[in-house]
């Protein structure tokens, strides 16, 4: 079905934006977008969700898209918002899936509200950035941002505004920068108008009204998560491309090593955008088996 966007008022008065795709009476899946992004990113899975009998719901994190900011929010606040939305939609149990920067939020749900989850999926997932063996897998650009978030947080908000303006006002320039920093599989994927359009529209929607979500996410990623992956007691599936130049596959291997009983699949010829853009049906088939 075409994207339909809604807002839901949480108990604390904030609006939470979300969009629905797939089959209206299907198995519920909450999708957590990357960094930056918005609920519209879930549109990548519309056809696959329809065929796989999933009701696929993309949610704007606070400060992105239609969702009001939540000053000082932490990673551990997110599962409460998700559970409240699930109650509003009359969902007992549901899947959660996080792509890239959405993966820490899916992990938080797996740790904090396991009784509500059928399973959690992690696609090209960013992991804890303070793990010694993973720091070297961050790009120079990423290391700068995470270091600044920890040591000079006052420069993050104006920097986020600059990035947000570039994405919204100069999408062609942003696309060129993306292609310069990604692998050949990702370049091919970004040449696909459907895949490129899904990501650029998601970025634009996420940053057009405010860059507060972008700014706050960075602070969240650079802070202690508040739980250990080893303590997750929930079914988890992990998918990662070996040619991912944005989130190195070693992050996926870290998840696979730490989360008890998880199932992990690594794709030798896929990158960051190509995995989400071309393998989503395969990944939803994996969810259906849990």
pLDDT digits (tens, 9 = 90+) for 246-257: 999 999 999 999
Q: What is the pLDDT confidence band of residue 189, given thresholds at 50, 70 and 90?
A: very high
What value does the mean pLDDT take over residues 63-67? 96
| Least confident window among 4-8, 141-145, 163-167 | 163-167
Q: What is the pLDDT confidence band of residue 122, given thresholds at 50, 70 and 90?
A: very high
* CB-based contact 286:237 (threshold 8 Å): yes
**pLDDT exceeds 90 at position 50:** yes
Strands in the chain per DSSP E: 4-9, 15-22, 27-32, 54-59, 94-99, 117-123, 236-241, 263-267
**pLDDT exceeds 60 at position 174:** yes
Q: What is the pLDDT confidence band of residue 23, given thresholds at 50, 70 and 90?
A: very high
What value does the mean pLDDT take over residues 54-82? 97
Q: What is the pLDDT confidence band of residue 185, given thresholds at 50, 70 and 90?
A: very high
How would you classify residue 247: left for phi > 0, otherwise alpha for psi between -120 and 50, otherwise beta?
beta
Task: Please give the structure tokens belonging to residue 113.
Answer: 């509200």
**pLDDT exceeds 90 at position 149:** no
**pLDDT exceeds 70 at position 3:** no
Of the candidate CATH numbers 3.40.30.10, 3.40.50.1820, 3.40.190.10, 3.40.50.1000, the domain formed by 4-288 belongs to: 3.40.50.1820
Where do the domains of the chain lie? Answer: 4-288
Q: What percent of the chain has pLDDT over 70?
A: 98
**pLDDT exceeds 60 at position 2:** no
Q: What 3-state DSSP class applies to 126?
A: coil
Between the two ends of the chain, the Cα-to-Cα distance in Å is 25
The residues pairing with 5 across neighbouring beta strands, listed in sequence order, are 19
* CB-based contact 108:79 (threshold 8 Å): yes
What value does the mean pLDDT take over residues 124-144? 88
- pLDDT at position 116 is 98
């Amino acid at each position: 079905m075409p994207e339909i966007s809604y807002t839901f008022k949480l108990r604390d008065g904030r609006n939470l934006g979300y969009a629905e795709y797939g089959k209206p009476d299907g198995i519920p899946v909450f999708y957590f977008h990357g960094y930056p992004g918005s609920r519209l990113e879930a549109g990548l899975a519309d056809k696959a969700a329809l065929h796989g009998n999933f009701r696929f719901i993309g949610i704007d994190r606070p400060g992105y898209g239609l969702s009001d900011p939540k000053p000082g929010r932490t990673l551990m606040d997110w599962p409460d918002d998700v559970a409240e939305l699930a109650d509003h939609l009359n969902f007992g149990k549901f899947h959660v899936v996080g792509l890239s920067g959405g993966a820490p939020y899916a992990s938080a749900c797996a740790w904090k509200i396991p009784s509500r989850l059928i399973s959690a999926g992690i696609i090209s997932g960013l992991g804890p950035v303070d793990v010694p063996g993973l720091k070297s897998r961050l790009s120079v650009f990423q290391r700068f941002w995470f270091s600044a978030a920890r040591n000079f947080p006052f420069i993050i908000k104006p920097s986020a505004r600059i990035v947000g303006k570039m994405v919204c006002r100069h999408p062609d320039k942003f696309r060129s920068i993306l292609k310069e920093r990604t692998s050949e599989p990702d370049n091919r994927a970004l040449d696909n108008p459907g895949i490129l359009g899904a990501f650029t529209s998601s970025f634009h929607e996420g940053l057009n009204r405010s860059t507060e979500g972008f700014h706050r996410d960075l602070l969240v990623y650079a802070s202690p998560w508040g739980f250990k992956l080893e303590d997750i007691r929930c079914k988890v599936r992990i998918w990662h491309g070996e040619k991912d130049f944005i989130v190195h596959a070693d992050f996926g291997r870290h998840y696979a090593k730490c989360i008890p009983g998880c199932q992990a699949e690594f794709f030798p010829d896929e990158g960051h955008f190509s995995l989400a853009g071309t393998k989503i049906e395969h990944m939803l088939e994996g969810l259906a088996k849990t």
